[in-house]
Amino acid sequence: MKKISEFSRDELLSLKSELESQYNEFKAKGLKLDMSRGKPSKDQLDMSDGLLDTLSSEEYEKLSLPSDYRNYGILLGIPECRKLFADILGVDAENVIIGGTASLTLMFDFITQCMVSGIGGCEPWLKQGGVKFLCPVPGYDRHFGICEYYGIEMINIPMNENGPDMDIIEELIRDEKIKGMFCVPKYSNPTGITYSDETVRRIAAMKPAAKDFRIIWDNAYCIHDLTDTPDKLLNIFDELKKYGNEDMVVEFCSTSKITFPGSGVSALAASDSNIKEIENRMKYQTISQDKLNQLRHVKYFDGKAENVIAYMEKHKEHLAPKFDAVCEMFEKELGPFGVASWHKPNGGYFISLDVMKGTAKRVGELCRQAGVVLTTVGATYPYGEDPEDKNIRIAPSLPPVSELMTATQLLCICVKLAACEALLK
């Protein structure tokens, strides 16, 4: 079949008219569908209902605990929970701190700390002024939000199939004002790309000019596989050790997409020195996190990382058909027209769809008008500005498959329609 770019004007006009009538049919349905955020579905949430029963008062009384977890204290998290996350991340328990419900808060607070108190014995970033961050794009809007909140200048780093472009990064970090980088190294949000071994090694070996350069290694999807051929990410701390670079990275994760989003447990892993500095801030901020929720999670998984990993198989059963359905429809509806490109990920929560340059915003608008909400177009780039106006993040997890199919069908119509409009201009 001919690609849309090879269509004649008449062919375009005819396709456009056909698409418009399809679009209007959808619009008439009065849809109200949401593919905007990476929220687990009701079925996935139901999976974890047992978590609510796991720490009854009867159960609590039976436990023989080193201290009373109902009371104040144990700032860095209960040992059992630190151990559980340590095993998941492949680090030592003393290099893990358990946070509240959201890893985003742990990241925000860490950046706060760098801004106002400094890190690694250096001046606070706010005092240094003109601080910049590297942002692989497309990326996660909430990472960019933190930078924006603090006025940290963001520099786009293009992502390729191996992760961020390391040649550019290695060049840029010679600037002392470049203080860090936000990363989702596995099943990157939104591209679904996992950083290759070479990329991880090159990151670990970096020698940035700034002594207080810090990488936010947001390993949000560390065990969130979707296929039987999952990606493998090198253990960043194993690599960092080889270069004496352990202080350069702080790793984050949570159970938000394992148990309940917003009622889970977050964690960070870091070098001895970073742990010490983070603890020194935390002790001003709180007396303890929610140890009972930590205990609830530990008990629910019997304290074993292997049980958490096995649990992810059940999430996969819910999620994989949705990712399959979206990608199959893209293949069928968009593929022949050469009007968009995407990567079918082996895990994570998103599909990144690149439509024809200059049409992404229009696609978002068309979808919205027909009752389908996508992630705000542009949000996958710093300052909400996609320089090529082509990237759309698809979050297939929340809607049931039937709704998802409807929404994706509409999306495909909009992608083609916006392309026709653009080519006819």
Q: Which residues bind its own copies (CB under 8 A)?
A: 37, 39-40, 42, 45, 48-50, 52-53, 55-57, 59-61, 68, 70-73, 100-102, 104-105, 108-109, 112, 115-117, 126, 142, 145-146, 148-150, 256, 260-263, 281, 283-293
Asked if residue 85 lies in contact with residue 96, where contact means CB atoms within 8 angstroms, the answer is yes
Nearest distance, CB of residue 55 and its own copies, angstroms: 6
Neighbouring C-alpha atoms within 13 Å toward the C-beta of 406? 18
In the complex with its own copies, the residue whose CB is nearer, 130 or 336, is 130
Nearest distance, CB of residue 285 and its own copies, angstroms: 4
CA distance 326 to 285: 44
Nearest distance, CB of residue 59 and its own copies, angstroms: 8
In the complex with its own copies, the residue whose CB is nearer, 41 or 346, is 41
Nearest distance, CB of residue 67 and its own copies, angstroms: 11
Asked if residue 327 lies in contact with residue 343, where contact means CB atoms within 8 angstroms, the answer is no
Nearest distance, CB of residue 14 and its own copies, angstroms: 43
In the complex with its own copies, the residue whose CB is nearer, 101 or 199, is 101
Nearest to 251 by CA among 115, 96, 114, 140: 96
Nearest distance, CB of residue 275 and its own copies, angstroms: 18
Residue 350 to residues 39, 84, 154, 397, 398: CA-CA distances in angstroms?
Answer: 10, 26, 23, 8, 11
In the complex with its own copies, the residue whose CB is nearer, 289 or 352, is 289
In the complex with its own copies, the residue whose CB is nearer, 132 or 390, is 132
Nearest distance, CB of residue 9 and its own copies, angstroms: 46
In the complex with its own copies, the residue whose CB is nearer, 112 or 341, is 112
CA distance 86 to 82: 6
In the complex with its own copies, the residue whose CB is nearer, 88 or 146, is 146
CA distance 329 to 134: 34
